[in-house]
Structure 1
Amino acid sequence: MLDAFDLRILALLQEDARISMPDLAARVGLSAPACYRRARALREQGAIAREVALVPPSTMGWPVTMIVLVTLERDRGRIVEEIVTRLQRAPEVMDVWYVTGDHDLVLHVAARDMASYDAFTHRVLHADEHVRNFKTQVVMRQAKRAGALPPAGSIAN
């Protein structure tokens, strides 16, 4: 069970995973060794899934991004798992969400240009017999990057 110190550590690490342990400890109100032990425990128990550098896709040579709404022929567990596994292996696919509603999957896809996106759709989506259809929305501008979430209940309704 996470306590207030753990939640504060997680909130601060979401903002800056490279914060020094003494600075983190001071902001949380713990000693550096106690803060280090808690941060290590949070990693070990999976509360911190991983730590990554957020690099804009354009910096890596992928200037075009799309949101792709995928509808499957059938929404069966085995079919969903198979396509999700294939999508996880596709380097263009940054995120995959299995969702409710009119579509089954939502993809966040990057491409060098529209020709490379077209090649991706033929290689991955058109080639899959379980994909009924998909809709592409080209991202004009990213207005907010995935970021830190405060602890639930800390925001007034």
Structure 2
Amino acid sequence: MDALDKKILEQLQIDAKASMGSIAEKVGLSEPACYRRVRQLRASGVIEKEMAIVKPKTMGWPLSMLVMVTFERDHNTIINSFLARVNKEPEVLDSWCVTGDHDVVLQVLSTDMEAFDDFTNRVLHKDDSVKYFRTLVVLKHSKANSPIPPAG
């Protein structure tokens, strides 16, 4: 990846629906050259996915929580098995393996606190590998889906 690829990626993160001509003009390339680079960025996996980002509340999920999970044992097999299972749950929007006091952080959506309680009983309390979990209820999402700037 060179500087032009990074400029293209910046533009696509701002507006993935922008015309190839518009992106080409902003980065200083011809439209066909820009299109070839975008196609290569997709093929190589640099561009993982292109999708519409929708507010969860619009889809009926007004509550968002960050759930920090700690396991009885810190073992890859346990963590991978847990993630394979919970990542299939519709309430789990995102998941991360982390360092520190917790092993996994989940972003969980819910329709209300009763539904969240059902989720914790069904998914977390029934898992013997989960030692404990802590929940942070998101009051306000102040910065979301920001473009990733080029490093350095």
On whether the aligned pair clears a TM of 0.5, the verdict is yes
Return the alpha-carbon distance in structure 1 between the equivalents of residues 127 and 119 of structure 2: 12
Paired with 1:123 and 1:147, the residues of 2 have a C-alpha distance of: 33
How far did residue 77 of structure 1 move? 1.0
Whole-Å Cα distance in 1 between the matches of residues 55 and 132 of structure 2? 28
What secondary structure, in the 3-state scheme, does the structure 2 residue paired with 1:37 have?
helix
Which residue of structure 1 aligns with residue 107 of structure 2? 108
Q: What TM-score does the superposition give when structure 1 sets the normalisation length?
A: 0.95
Task: Extract unaligned runs of 5+ from structure 2.
Answer: none
2:43 and 2:87 map into 1 onto residues whose CA distance is 24
| 5+ residue gaps, structure 1 | none
The CA distance in 2 between the partners of 1:108 and 1:75, in whole Å, is 20
Q: Which residue number corresponds to residue 21 of structure 2?
A: 22
Equivalences for residues 4-153 of structure 1 within 5 A? 4-153=3-152
C-alpha separation between the residues in 2 aligned to 1:35 and 1:79?
A: 44
TM-score, length of structure 2 as denominator length: 0.98
CA distance in 2 between counterparts of 1:112 and 1:22 reads: 42
Aligned equivalents of 2:33, 2:145: Cα separation in 1: 29
Give, in whole Å, the separation in 2 of the partners of 1:14 and 1:73. 40
Q: Which amino acid aligns with 2:118?
A: A
In the TM superposition, residue 146 of structure 1 has moved relative to its aligned partner by 2.3
Q: Deviation of residue 112 (structure 1)? A: 0.2
Give structure 1 regions of 4+ aligned residues with deviation exceeding 3 angstroms: none
Deviations 1:116-156 (A, max 9, x none): 00000011111111110000110001011121011001xxx
Tell me the distance in 1 between the aligned counterparts of 2:50 and 2:117.
Answer: 32
Structure 1 residue 79, shift from structure 2 partner: 0.7
Aligned equivalents of 1:118 and 1:16: distance in 2? Answer: 38
Corresponding residue pairs, total: 152
Can you list the C-alpha shifts for 1:23-62, whole angstroms capped at 9, x where unaligned?
0100010000000000000000000000111111100000
CA RMSD in angstroms comes to 0.6
Amino acid corresponding to residue 5 of structure 2 in structure 1: D
